[in-house]
Structure 1
């Protein structure tokens, strides 16, 4: 058995270190920004809008992701509250990050005079790109993995490249002697890649209305997260009613022919929070689409022009022209 662990530190300068995790997250954010800027140009939205949104949204996402995680892991922090701020030690939740990003997006879009759903529809492919790339940061850190699995299953059944399989031999407190683990990060990254292609296709369809790209994102991502989350061994969980736990297990049952669930300590909980939230988001997104269609509120297409009610906050004149360009033209005439 030939295994090795990739050093999570990219390079060091004295006591200062740069980790692969941070670099990969940065690349994911940059790729998402470029995608949003490109799509925004089709609607006349200036690149600065999305750059500022990223600068505001990224810290908002990290802060709420940390709050979300700590809230469900308070027992680990209550004796040393200052450790809450040690985010470099790990402990953020992706659903918390999404909540933080959307809260920031709502406030920022309103400030700029744009309808939030118009901006969200443009941004969700970027979020998916960030998630797709960002999961490789988990790979470098050997985290967000699933339960034990045979090396043969990874190499010969799933045909996963050797550099991934080798790095998935993990030694931790649960299995001190080490074992190969499900690369849950890879499953989610590939699911996000396929989802990105799906979003690219549907946003060019004339039947898509405002808000439905965002709903499609939540449906797609949450379906994948529901099934992948059950493989993991680090899930946030709570003790819920037995009927709900049985329902969740029943919905996941079709996967049991190929995969074994990751261990979840019964003393910690019987319902994985991310699974339950994924299920609720799928239902909510479907209801959102149906209600808006039935009530006639889905009257604006995704492809329709996007207009701001506050052009002065976007460097535009009342008729949508760039102020700087107009000023420059005036100087030329003189």
Structure 2
């Protein structure tokens, strides 16, 4: 059994302002993604997109935070927030849904791209190639908070978390950081410039990286959820699946559907030609 490294969730405070590691992880993730998005846009010489990146980033951040918080409230803990409505705004305490944040970012990005005449799927490919960085740091924030821990285990690296009883548990936050964060980033970054030559598709169809992200994240998250403690207020849905697994399954289905749909116009055009 490994010793859980107890870290004060609060970095420092200035009067009524409290700076916490959880929020800092979001800042680091957003900053790293911003740098890599800029790098890709300049590499591809997409100048009209570069001019809009700062404005788009602001809208995406709002979409992530609003969607993540709203998703958590509705899908994971609705009754609690109905009884304690003021806690809805206490985002520094944790309580963000990745699936809600992902949906919020996609909607915000789609609206922005339509308004400014930017190719949405092309922009989405650039952004999702960097998204796992934010996931990596976000899961580290969960680990520091001692939240979203795993199920009871006897593996040598099991840990006793402060608010999870006396038995060792899987450090599922670390599993997710490594799979949904580090490994997924390596996979997406290595194929971000890959020419997709599968006939009858053209050499490149925008949306390919977005599809890979949806399928990859959904697969990794669905797998790790088998080792993660179900949310106590929800338990297992249908006595078999966690809420995270159900939402991840939808991600996989949407990713596969988009992969097929993105090829359809090109294959149809070739059949008619």
- Tell me which of 224, 229, 234 is aligned to 1:233: 229
Sort the Cα spacing of 1:236 and 1:285 in 2 relative to 1 into closer, same or farther, 3 A. farther
Alignment partner, residue 8 of structure 2: 7
Q: Deviations over 1:186-222 (max 9, x none)?
A: 1111112122121122222221421111001101111
Relative to the length of structure 2, the TM-score reads 0.84
Classify the secondary structure of the residue corresponding to 1:214: helix
1:131 is displaced (CA, Å) by 0.8
Alignment partner, residue 173 of structure 2: 185
Q: In 2, Cα distance between the equivalents of 1:3 and 1:28?
A: 24
Alignment partner, residue 88 of structure 1: 92
Q: Deviations over 1:297-324 (max 9, x none)?
A: 699xxxxxxxxxxxxxxxxxxxxxxxxx
Unaligned runs of 5+ in 2: 197-203
Query: How well do the aligned residues superpose, as a CA RMSD in angstroms?
Result: 2.5
1:132 is displaced (CA, Å) by 1.5
What is the aligned length?
A: 257
Higher-Rg member (1/2): 1
- Tell me which of 168, 174, 198 is aligned to 2:187: 198
Unaligned runs of 5+ in 1: 155-164, 239-263, 300-334
Sort the Cα spacing of 1:236 and 1:4 in 2 relative to 1 into closer, same or farther, 3 A. closer
Alignment partner, residue 214 of structure 1: 210
Alignment partner, residue 28 of structure 2: 27
- Tell me which of 276, 279, 282 is aligned to 2:252: 282
Relative to the length of structure 1, the TM-score reads 0.70
Query: Higher mean Cα deviation, 198-207 or 98-107?
Result: 198-207
8 Å CA contact 2:230, 2:236 repeated in 1 = no
Alignment partner, residue 70 of structure 2: 67
Alignment partner, residue 317 of structure 1: none
Alignment partner, residue 44 of structure 1: 46
8 Å CA contact 2:22, 2:92 repeated in 1 = no
